[in-house]
Amino acid sequence: MYEGLKGFTDFYPDEMAPLREVVDTIEDTARAYGFRETSTPALEPAEMWTDKSGEDIVDELYDFKDKGGRHVTLTPELTPTVARMVVAKQQALSKPIKWFSTRPFWRYEQVQQGRFRELYQTNADIFGSSEPEADAEVLAFAADSLTNLGLDGSEFEFRVSHRDILGELLRSFDADVDTTEAIRAVDKRAKVDEGEYLGLLSDAGLSYDQAREFDDLLMAGDDDLSALTEFSDSDDLAAAVENLQEVLAAAEDFGVREYCDVSLTTARGLDYYTGVVFECFDASGEVSRSIFGGGRYDHLIEEFGGQSTPAVGVGIGVMNSTLPLLLQTHDAWPGEGIATDYYVLQVGDVRGVASRIARELRERGHVVETDVSDRSFGAQMNYADSIDAETVVIVGERDLENDEVTVKDMESGDQTNVPVDDFPGDSERPTYDDLV
């Protein structure tokens, strides 16, 4: 008896059906915004991550040497892969490039609720536009995905920030600050106690008092962004504040401003983010961890050897993630299982007629099952009941001697005989009620 690996999940049909509905809803939303679907490899050169984040990141990867001696890894995220793809065909691609995909990723990390070592995620990215409308469209796609799944504005919130605001604020202090480490500290603010958080900022180069003042500025900026420009006359800081305000104004026009709260302590941990970033949270607080996040990464394409290309995107975890927890918390989780419209029951040597009926019903878009195990009449009826078949079509040798089949409504138990040549006939969905 073999057991599955820790952090990897089997999805049985009654679990997979609602997950498929979630994925289909998000993907249909992406298509409505004009995103085009891509497919990407599970395996990539490990250097795509180690070159940018250092060798320590291999502790978080499923990496190994392949038979050619190359250092490869199962992909832990999509952004470097799509950056590589854009660089490969940058001149031929029409701008803006709008891509989406749903696929698994692998991260060697501590397993906990809503966080596994294999996860499935839908990513949507826009390449080639630095305009606030691109950021707002990503926010709108994310919000529409959630509302299309049955949530409303009181049940989720987007905490929106700007990485350049954080960086320019840090550079305004009279200190030798490692802005990358300081922003990483901000990203951990909600996960550690105050003393450890201030200590991380001190380790990045701020004095204790400066760390306090910096944090106070972030909190003040949540309510009034002008408090930041009053603290510093940096033109770059003013430009970053203006950009955030322009994105929020565009989000208003896109109909999703109500979901957005300014939260400057939202930093996103990955170093390639450059401008507006955001994370989605459960507004009720019952799901304490981030549901998903995204943001702008304007320099990554250039860092991968391409021409300077602005980019913004979002990754929505759909399986082995916190999104199912959010939907379940707010009673928006889809119903389990798929509906079975017809079960074609066979008694005796009737396979040809039964197969013809099943085929014609399927051609009309219905879910149809029939016997493939040579079971008895009673066993087939029990099976039809177990799969919640709405209608059973009984094709028996005796009925066929009279050129008839029996159509049975499973909920009421009522049944009637109809001419075999007239079933399914011209009706798109023939049921007992249509035939009596």
Which amino acid, residue 143?
A: A
Query: What per-residue confidence (pLDDT) applies to 115?
Result: 81
The DSSP annotation for 275-328 comes to SEEEEEEETTSSS-S--EEEEE-TTHHHHTTS----EEEEEEEEESSSHHHHHH
In the chain, residues under CATH classification 3.40.50.800 are 340-434
Distance, CA of 29 to CA of 168 (rounded, Å): 36
Task: Give the number of other CB atoms < 10 A from CB of residue 162.
Answer: 31
| Apex 129 CA angle, 123 and 134, nearest 5 | 60
State the CATH architecture for 13-330: 2-Layer Sandwich (3.30)
Local structure of residue 35 (DSSP, 8 states):
P
Q: What CATH fold (topology level) applies to the domain 340-434?
A: Rossmann fold (3.40.50)
Asked whether residue 241 carries a pLDDT value surpassing 90, the answer given is yes
Distance, CA of 214 to CA of 210 (rounded, Å): 6
User: What's the pLDDT band for 32 if we cut at 50, 70, 90?
Assistant: very high
The DSSP annotation for 71-128 comes to EEEE-S-SHHHHHHHHHHTTTTSPSSEEEEEEEEEE-----BTTB-SEEEEEEEEEES
Residue range 131-167, pLDDT digits in tens: 999 999 999 999 999 999 999 989 999 999 999 999 9
| Apex 116 CA angle, 111 and 122, nearest 5 | 155
User: What's the pLDDT band for 169 if we cut at 50, 70, 90?
Assistant: very high
In the chain, residues under CATH classification 3.30.930.10 are 13-330
Q: Which residues are annotated as a binding site for L-histidine?
A: 77-79, 107, 121, 125, 268, 272-273
Q: Which residues are annotated as a binding site?
A: 77-79, 107, 121, 125, 268, 272-273
User: What's the pLDDT band for 243 if we cut at 50, 70, 90?
Assistant: very high
Percent of the chain's residues with pLDDT above 90: 85
Residue range 372-427, pLDDT digits in tens: 999 999 999 999 999 999 999 999 999 999 999 999 999 999 999 999 999 998 89
Residue range 35-65, pLDDT digits in tens: 999 999 999 999 998 887 778 889 999 999 9
**Mean pLDDT in residue range 204-218:** 93
| Apex 345 CA angle, 372 and 352, nearest 5 | 70
Residue range 274-298, pLDDT digits in tens: 999 999 999 999 998 999 999 999 9
User: What's the pLDDT band for 182 if we cut at 50, 70, 90?
Assistant: very high
Query: What per-residue confidence (pLDDT) applies to 272?
Result: 84
Query: What per-residue confidence (pLDDT) applies to 66?
Result: 95
0.85 surpassed by pTM: yes
